[in-house]
Amino acid sequence: MDFFLSKLDRVFHLLYNLTHHIICGDINIDYLVESERKKQLDNLLLSFNLTSIITFPTRIQNISATAIDNMFLDSSRLKDHLVTPIYNGLSDHDAQLLTSRIKVPKDPTKELKTHRNFNNHTISEFITKLSNESWDMVFNKNNNEDVNDTFNSFLNNYIMIFNSSFPLQTVMTKKM
């Protein structure tokens, strides 16, 4: 899992300046169940403003149903979207169809810029969220835990709070 998250983080850093992000695939992490793996992936994705949009089972077998196929997108940039399951009968995994309207700026003198809003209100909200965080995942580690795991746990919680307090926003500005 650490190798996967490390490589995914590198890919996101390379692709971060693209206008739209949609990541999809068979990630083998069940999004219908809370787990440490899901939390680790969500924290990484949130640092790039990406969230899961699949809320229904994508693999249904005899008595089990899981959501291990997923799509992640920046919903601040692709607000108007719909995801529906497609039962194809060709695989043990069902397909998903993402339908979205992408607004393309028509004025060549304008461009989309992404920023975070820092002001007294958002900073106060950030401080409040930090103070209300239990930090149990950081401080209640076993003595034999790796210091890197402890730091990563702290960093993931911090980034999640940071992104929820200062979400990325896209605005149209005049080109310079």
- For the chain, 176 residues long, the average pLDDT of each consecutive 10-residue run is 84 68 83 91 85 86 86 76 77 80 69 87 92 78 66 81 86 78
pLDDT for the residue numbered 4: 85
pLDDT for the residue numbered 102: 64
How many structural domains comprise the chain?
2
- Indicate the residue among 103, 136, 167 that finishes a domain: 103
pLDDT for the residue numbered 63: 85
Q: What is the DSSP string of 43-68?
A: HHHHTTT-EE---S-SEEETTEEE--
Pair (127, 154) in one structural domain: yes
Tokens 């990563």, located at residue: 152
- Indicate the residue among 103, 133, 151 that finishes a domain: 103
Pair (79, 122) in one structural domain: no
Pair (140, 97) in one structural domain: no
Say which CATH number the domain at 50 has. 3.60.10.10
Pair (99, 146) in one structural domain: no
Pair (93, 110) in one structural domain: no
d(CA 104, CA 16): 19
Pair (115, 93) in one structural domain: no
pLDDT for the residue numbered 97: 81
pLDDT for the residue numbered 121: 93
Q: Which of 91, 104, 37 is nearest to 59 (CA)?
A: 91
Pair (117, 98) in one structural domain: no
The range of the structural domain enclosing residue 161 comes to 104-176
Pair (117, 50) in one structural domain: no
Beta strand 64-66 pairing with 59-61 = antiparallel
Pair (29, 81) in one structural domain: yes
Tell me how far apart the terminal alpha carbons of the chain are, to the nearest angstrom.
Answer: 43
Structure tokens at 24: 């999809």
pTM of the model: 0.54
pLDDT for the residue numbered 124: 93
Pair (45, 8) in one structural domain: yes
pLDDT for the residue numbered 127: 94
Pair (47, 128) in one structural domain: no
- Indicate the residue among 103, 137, 166 that finishes a domain: 103
pLDDT for the residue numbered 104: 61
pLDDT for the residue numbered 144: 53
